[in-house]
Amino acid sequence: MPPLAPLSLLLLLLSLLFPTAKTATTKIPATQTPNTLNLTIVNNCAFTIWPSIEPNQGSSQIITGNQQTFYLKTLQIESFAMPAAPWSGRVYARTGCNPAPTACATGNKPPFTIAQFSINPTNPNTNSAYSVSLVDGFNLPMTVTPHGGAGNCPVVGCRHDLLKTCPAQLVVRGDGSRVVACKSACEAFQNDEYCCRGAFAGQGKCKPSSYSEGFKSVCPDTYTFPADNPFAKDECKAPIELKVIFCH
């Protein structure tokens, strides 16, 4: 083999020292979507709770079974992959169930604290709407914390235990006269003014009551009556996780 010419030798050395870079490509399997969202439920309470994830009509079930309910012991966490489709629904929790969630101190009917969601993981340009509502009363402190989103992604909810300051007219007592929940004014008094119905229905006619204002003064980032407007605005696009924390 004849010796390499100086130029050929130089080109060979350069090719060995600096190989041509190749562009890396990642293929997404047909069953995987580039935008995923997990709904995570955390129990920071000092007792077991029975959370429920209830879809609105037209949205798919996240948990199988009629009650959409599971239990979490103290400091336990459960995470659910949300469907790759528009989804709306709510999360709340039962307390004092013995032993099944069909017989509970709270949560089988109002009053209870509710987190509400309207999301679309398939469209990264769509806001993920989430909120915490005291319109149906209160049974547990609850917050919603988004992770990984773009835009305005506030933590919303109520960290305070409103059972300690619940007005006597709204108190719900369990075994041993222990306060287990706090009703909304609508639930307690069942009149049109507090429930924003009849002559009081509609924006501008539905006003806060002294009871809802009491909730709002402690938990400003919640809905406290049907026409309420929470201080924190969620304009959060494409979060990768929405975390519901009880007793945050």
| Contacts of 190-197 spanning 24+ positions with Cβ under 8 A | 194/225, 195/226, 196/225, 196/226, 196/227
Q: Which of 70-79, 84-93, 100-109 has the lowest mean pLDDT?
A: 100-109
Average pLDDT, integer, range 98-120:
92
Residue written as token pair 């009081």: 200
**Spatial separation of the C-alpha atoms in residues 91 and 140, rounded to whole Å:** 12
26: pLDDT strictly greater than 50: no
Locate 172 and state its tokens: 């719900």
Quote the pLDDT of residue 42: 98
- Record: fold of 33-161+219-246: Thaumatin (2.60.110)
Tens of pLDDT, residue by residue over 133-142, are: 999 999 999 9
The Cα–Cα gap between 183 and 179 comes to 11
The residue among 37, 243, 46, 230 whose CA lies nearest residue 142 is 243
pLDDT digits (tens, 9 = 90+) for 77-86: 999 999 989 9
The residue with greater pLDDT, 100 or 16, is: 100
pLDDT exceeds cutoff 80 at 173: yes
pLDDT-derived band at 108 (thresholds 50, 70, 90) equals very high
Across the chain, how many H-helices and E-strands are there? 4, 13
pLDDT at 7 over 60: no
Among the residue ranges 46-60, 62-76, 234-248, the one predicted with the least confidence is 62-76
Residue ranges of the domains in the chain?
Answer: 33-161+219-246
What is the pLDDT, as a whole number, of residue 81? 93
